[in-house]
Amino acid sequence: MDASDLTETAVEVRGLCVSFGGRQALREVVCDLPARSITVVIGRSGSGKTTLLRALNRLNECFPGCETRGDVHLRLRNGWVPAYGPGAPPLEELRRRVGMVFALPLPLPGTIRENIIYGLKLAGVRDRLRLEEAVVRSLTQAALWDEVKDRLDTPAMAMSGGQQQRLCIARSLALEPEVLLLDAPTSGLDPISTDKVEESLLVLKQTYTIIVVPHSIQQAARIADRAAFFLDGALIEYRPGSELFTNPHESRTQDYVTGRFG
């Protein structure tokens, strides 16, 4: 790694290939994902967007027949580490430091408070003060604290869909990750809830490296610092969001962002 990478790049991907049962989902992907910013990954269904996210914290390995080649390096608090191969952190640690939030909100059974501290308790944290601090910090970061601070001990399943999604973001943040992956986190939400999630992401990027598969081109254009367009598992174009959505270099990108195919 160059010294300059240490101040600007959070994730380095080189020659990444992923296949499932012989079907190639990602093809020789090369990109550098910047720190403390939002990178959006766009493309039609089946283009490899979610596979890329899952490759960054090795969730693809949960699926049978998965084969991964290439290199992924992550800039974590203790310096650059590989996600794969010799020197890679244990999977549990990697997935704590590279958190993921899925399209469907999945609150755990129990209260709002119990959802937030679940992962910390699983990691062996027992100090009540530290747990309570994590509840306040993560709910505040997810723009949810003011809405739920008086009902932390009520069931999480009683929350609205938008609140449940922000709770899932807060649950990831409680573990203090360094990279946050979000796979279509607002796909099932109403416009007001979507706005709140987007607003929270714009605040979170000041601290975290955020990589998002957005649910629409419009959302991608609103939140992107950088944007990557994928087609059939290949990275077609990767540029600052303000440029990719207004002046793409590739005709296939132009066709996609203008709705000629999707």
What's the CATH number where 198 sits? 3.40.50.300
Residue 225 has pLDDT above 60, yes or no: yes
Considering the entire predicted model, what is its pTM? 0.90
Residue 189 to residue 182: CA distance in whole angstroms: 14
Residue 22 lies in a domain: yes
Indicate whether 159 belongs to any domain. no
Query: What is the rounded average pLDDT of the residues 139-155?
Result: 94
Q: How large is the C-alpha radius of gyration of the chain?
A: 18
How confident is the model at residue 262, as a pLDDT?
64
Q: Is the CB of residue 35 less than 8 Å from the CB of residue 12?
A: no
Chain centroid offset of residue 131 CA = 24
Average of per-residue pLDDT values in the chain: 92
Within a domain: 44: yes
SS3 call for 36: coil
Structural domain that includes position 220? 5-106+178-257
**Does residue 200 fall inside a structural domain?**
yes
Model confidence band, residue 2 (pLDDT cutoffs 50, 70, 90): very low
Alpha-carbon 160 to chain mean position: 22
Mean pLDDT in residue range 46-74: 96
> In this structure, what token pair is assigned to residue 193?
């809830």
What gap in Å lies between CA 227 and CA 214, rounded to an integer?
10
Whether 111 maps to a domain, the answer reads: no
| Domain annotation covers residue 42 | yes
pLDDT in tens, 80-133: 999 999 999 999 999 999 999 988 888 999 999 999 999 999 889 999 999 999
The answer to whether residue 62 is domain-embedded is yes
Angle CA(125)–CA(202)–CA(175) in degrees, nearest 5? 10
Number of domain units in the chain: 1
pLDDT of residue 123: 86
Does position 7 have pLDDT exceeding 60, yes or no? Answer: no
Is 136 within a domain? Answer: no
Give the per-residue pLDDT at 193. 86
Q: What single string gives the DSSP state of each residue in 122-189? A: HTT---HHHHHHHHHHHHHHTT-HHHHTT-TTSBGGGS-HHHHHHHHHHHHHTT--SEEEEESTTTTS
